[in-house]
Amino acid sequence: MHLFTKSSVFRLSKKRLRNRMETKIINDPIWGPIELHPLCIRIIDTPQFQRLRSIKQLGGCSFVYPGACHTRFEHSIGTSYLAKRLGQELQKKIAAEQSKELEITDEEILCLEVAGLCHDLGHGPFSHLFDLQFFKKAKPGETWEHEDASIKMIQGIFEIIQQDYVNDEEIKFIKDLVKQTDETCTEKRETKPFLYEIIANDLNKIDVDKWDYFSRDCHMLGLHHNFQCERSIKVARLVKHNGKYHISFPKSEYFNLFDMFYTRFTLHRRAYQHSVTKAVEMMIADAFLNADESLMFPPNQTDYMSILWKHMII
């Protein structure tokens, strides 16, 4: 029989509590239980990420579909989960083939998970309404994308939070996964280009970001869809083309991927480009323009990147 003193039991309880706090499981309405890495939990707890709770995923679409009130917060968590799932599936297949050249490390899986979590940090109010309508009218002739602000926020987050999971080179890789620029360019773009096709695929537009918001938007809008991204994850593989390996799918996946693109078409036709949605968003953009000088902090501020970084984290 083991005897414990009061202090030893207290220390044991603290240790168990600390271990339980290392990971967290949330119940997502689309993907079910999602286990979050401790680094992801710390990022989620930052003001930069918490502000996503107030940013509607579909802009003014909720004025047409009352259920479309979901936010960038849950979409980002879902994208992180799918990025991890697809990365692990490819990792398992590469390990089975014993290909050292293409080996995906656990560190790279974590970077994918974090990049999926942070890819939408820079969105403004009402998501794409801010950058596609308000910004273009407020700053004609200038180019700006929400990914630009996301990269700055990622850098700011890692300057603040205490973590031992990723180093400076991996943080650079995370930012490169969100948006590829000469400043954030890493050698992985040449050696493992398929990693850049998981979150934002510029090659054929098949990526986990779309998989999450197609499924999530259909669920919240009450629209039916037949696309099964879980199947696509299971059958995904790497195929060499023009000297580089890319994510590919077998011919048997043709109709499932066709359903994916048809789902995109349906969402645009029935929701994103709905005439009332666009009319409401035009009025919101005009309201932003009329309030532009009064609502800026400080007033008459014209540096929108500075506004996003310094003030929109609130």
* H helical segments located in the chain: 6-20, 38-44, 47-50, 72-97, 106-118, 128-129, 135-138, 146-160, 168-178, 188-191, 208-221, 229-235, 254-267, 275-290, 292-295, 304-310
- β-pair partners for 33: 27
Question: Looking at residue 300, what is its pLDDT?
Answer: 53
- Cα pseudo-dihedral 247, 187, 210, 28, rounded to 10: 100
Q: Output the CA angle 270-126-129, nearest 5 degrees.
A: 70
Does residue 18 sit within a domain?
no
Give, for 36, the enclosing helix (H) or strand (E).
strand 32-36
Task: Answer whether residue 179 is part of any domain.
Answer: yes
237 three-state secondary structure: strand
- The single residue listed with the structure tokens 């970077």 is 111
The boundaries of the domain holding residue 285 are 26-310
Using only C-alpha atoms, what is the Rg of the chain?
21
Gap between the Cα atoms of 269 and 164, Å rounded? 46
**Per-residue confidence (pLDDT) for residue 301, from 0 to 100:** 52
Question: What is the 8-class DSSP label of residue 297?
Answer: S
- 93 belongs to a structural domain: yes
Domain assignment present for residue 10? The answer is no
Instruction: State the DSSP code for 56.
Output: B
Is 4 a domain residue?
no
Q: Whole-angstrom Cα distance, residue 143 to residue 251?
A: 39
The enclosing H or E element of 35 equals strand 32-36
For residue 309, the one-letter residue type is W
Rounded CA-CA distance 87/173 in Å is 15
In a domain, 9, yes or no: no
DSSP letter string, 106-135: HHHHHHHHHHHHHTTTT--TTTHHIIIIIH
Catalytic residues: 146
Handedness of CA 296, 297, 298, 302 (dihedral sign): negative
What's residue 143's pLDDT?
83
Helices 72-97 + 106-118 axis angle, to 10: 160
Give me the number of domains the chain comprises. 1
Question: What angle (nearest 5°) sits at the alpha carbon of residue 215, between those of residues 174 and 248?
Answer: 60
Q: Residue 248 falls within a domain, yes or no? A: yes
CATH code assigned at 209? 1.10.3210.10
pLDDT (tens place) for every residue of the chain, 314 residues total: 344 344 443 343 444 334 445 789 999 999 999 999 999 999 999 999 999 999 999 999 999 999 999 999 999 999 999 999 999 999 999 999 888 889 999 999 999 999 999 999 999 999 999 988 888 888 888 888 899 999 999 999 999 998 889 999 999 999 999 998 776 677 788 889 999 999 999 999 999 999 999 999 999 999 999 999 999 999 999 999 988 999 999 999 999 999 999 999 999 999 999 999 999 999 999 998 888 767 654 455 555 555 454 444 43
CA dihedral 38, 41, 47, 52 (to 10 degrees): 140
